[in-house]
Amino acid sequence: MQSQDTPPKTNEETAPPLAMTEKLGFAAGDMASCLYFGVFMNFLPIFYTDVFGLSAAALATMIFVTRTWDWINDPIMGMISDRTKSRMGKFRPWLIWVLPFWIGLGVLTFTTFDLSDGGKLAYAYITYTLLMMAYTAINVPYSALMGVMTPRSDQRTILSSFRFLGAFAGVGVVSLTLQRLVATLGGGNEQLGYTLTMGVYAIASGILFLITFLTTKERVAPPKAQKISIKKDLSAAMRNGPWRALILISVLTILWIAIRGGATIHFFKYVSGNELWGGTFLFIASLVQLGGVMLTKQFTQIFGGKRRTFITLTLINAAFLLAFYYIPPTSYYLIMGHQAVSAFMTAPLMALFWSMIADSADYGQWKLGQRTTGLIFSTGTSSMKIGWSIGPAVSLALLSYYGFEANVEQTPDTIEGLKLIMSIIPAGVAVLAAASVLFYRIDAKMEREMEEAIAADARSEAPDPGCAK
């Protein structure tokens, strides 16, 4: 029995580090997600405007409407997964339950039929909405899984780094292969090429999710005395100050990334004059981010914690975005070199965000007595989707404002607009994102205090081995 004078042991002292197989297995899940998300983020706008046949204005509205519903249903899925009871856990079973819908809808969304303009728009609304609902049903539980695989904050930071190792690998595969697969599999028919390419990604994604399911384990449970109540869950979340700050941080961070991403392929096709440069540009980002994200822990040590690191890296990225405006759009090596450095500095941001989200779930248990891992993580993904609903919509609305028309030579005003969307406009949003981090109050000292308190609670709830029959 532990003496009252003995300091309570922390999770770092009692919980073993995660095995490499489990870290890599968890990373496989985000690679699975990003085989789709990489398409949504970088190629969906060009597919819908130049292949499917929607106008930029109609697409801007569609993305805003469909993704608004998408982020609204994230907390619903979070509360459902929090209440899931199965021998496989709360979150893991969703990785296999949703797979058939995930695979089928991925292919249907990128299949083009001979329909009227109104029919195409209706088909796009229906298929994309259903696909994003499947994305929510599989990705929210996957994200929450990180919060229950280990009670250790340091291991979560490492786990988050591995997660984004998988994410950047997935986006990198899409960036490098999509345009080439569309051309090869379609044989000159881009519509057919997109359908078959998504079929390849869908099968690969399904296999990767199965790997995550088979290699991970849930270890952190809510306090036994905690009563399940939607009202209490929502109340606890709203009183969680660090969580509220992270919602704002997430929206603004994704916003500046999404505004730029929504016009990247358009920029290279119509301003640089070489659409394939866009795929190379995106692949370079994914490649260097693989290295950058694995140094997340080192970045936090250099800059003095997660909070300071997030602010510093975001401001560095804002400076790089401003510099991009002045790079000649046909200067291939300068553009790609700029991308390599800026992407390396961007890499730790999302890994830090998810580690901070896990810490905010601990904060809820520590300060408020209510652990709502699924809800907290679902609102994390929800906040990111707010950024992904507003950002591309803003980007496409700006394209329409500057006079963009698909598959024609662009006017000087449109070219100038594309340059602004790739540089100065997202730079301004990035500065706001950095400022928003000031509202996040969890520092390294508080992380340790939370770990000690939660570890002590877990030991007090554990059965006395001396009473075992």
Residue-wise pLDDT for 443-469, tens only, equals 778 878 887 887 776 666 544 434 333
Does any domain span residue 230? yes
Query: Distance between CA 418 and CA 263 in Å, rounded?
Result: 7
Q: Share the mean pLDDT of the chain.
A: 87
Q: For residues 150 and 195, which has the higher predicted lDDT (pLDDT)? A: 195
Query: Which string of DSSP letters, residue by residue, matches 341-382?
Result: HHHHHHTHHHHHHHHHHHHHHHHHHHHHS---HHHHHHHHHH
Q: For residues 32 and 355, which has the higher predicted lDDT (pLDDT)? A: 32
For residue 192, give the CATH number of its domain: 1.20.1250.20
Number of domains in the chain: 1
Q: What is the pLDDT of residue 85?
A: 87
Provide the pLDDT confidence category of residue 147 given band limits of 50, 70 and 90.
confident
Residue 73 has pLDDT above 90, yes or no: no
Does any domain span residue 7? no
**What is the three-class DSSP state of 405?**
coil
Q: What is the pLDDT of residue 465?
A: 39
Residue 392 makes CB contacts below 8 A (sequence gap 6+) with 44, 45, 60, 63, 67, 258, 259, 261, 262
Other beta carbons less than 10 A from residue 1's beta carbon: 6
Does any domain span residue 463? no
Does any domain span residue 11? no
Provide the pLDDT confidence category of residue 422 given band limits of 50, 70 and 90.
very high
Shortest CA distance to 263 belongs to which of 115, 401, 140? 401
Does any domain span residue 452? yes
**Stretch 115-136: mean pLDDT, rounded?**
95
**Stretch 151-168: mean pLDDT, rounded?**
84
Does any domain span residue 412? yes
Q: What is the pLDDT of residue 14?
A: 59
pTM beyond 0.85: the answer is no
CB 401 within 8 A of CB 417: yes
Provide the pLDDT confidence category of residue 67 given band limits of 50, 70 and 90.
confident
Query: Distance between CA 374 and CA 81 in Å, rounded?
Result: 6
Q: Which two tokens stand for residue 134?
A: 């499947």
**Stretch 291-319: mean pLDDT, rounded?**
91
Task: Give the chain's end-to-end CA distance (angstroms, integer).
Answer: 19
Residue 336 has pLDDT above 70, yes or no: yes
Query: Distance between CA 333 and CA 119 in Å, rounded?
Result: 43
Tell me which residue range forms the domain holding 113: 21-218+226-456
Residue 425 has pLDDT above 90, yes or no: yes
Q: What is the pLDDT of residue 224?
A: 61
**Stretch 325-347: mean pLDDT, rounded?**
95
Lowest pLDDT segment from 42-46, 149-153, 231-235, 364-368: 231-235
Q: What is the pLDDT of residue 469?
A: 33
Provide the pLDDT confidence category of residue 138 given band limits of 50, 70 and 90.
very high
- Length of the chain as a residue count: 469
What is the per-residue pLDDT across 383-398, written as a single tens digit (0 to 9) for each?
A: 887 888 888 889 989 9
Provide the pLDDT confidence category of residue 142 given band limits of 50, 70 and 90.
very high
Residue at 227: amino acid letter: K
Shortest CA distance to 105 belongs to which of 129, 121, 122, 81? 129
Residue 226 has pLDDT above 80, yes or no: no
Does any domain span residue 4? no
Query: Distance between CA 20 and CA 460 in Å, rounded?
Result: 30
Residue at 404: amino acid letter: F
Residue 84 has pLDDT above 80, yes or no: yes
Residue 4 has pLDDT above 70, yes or no: no
Does any domain span residue 464? no
What is the per-residue pLDDT across 253-284, written as a single tens digit (0 to 9) for each?
A: 999 999 998 899 999 999 999 988 998 999 99
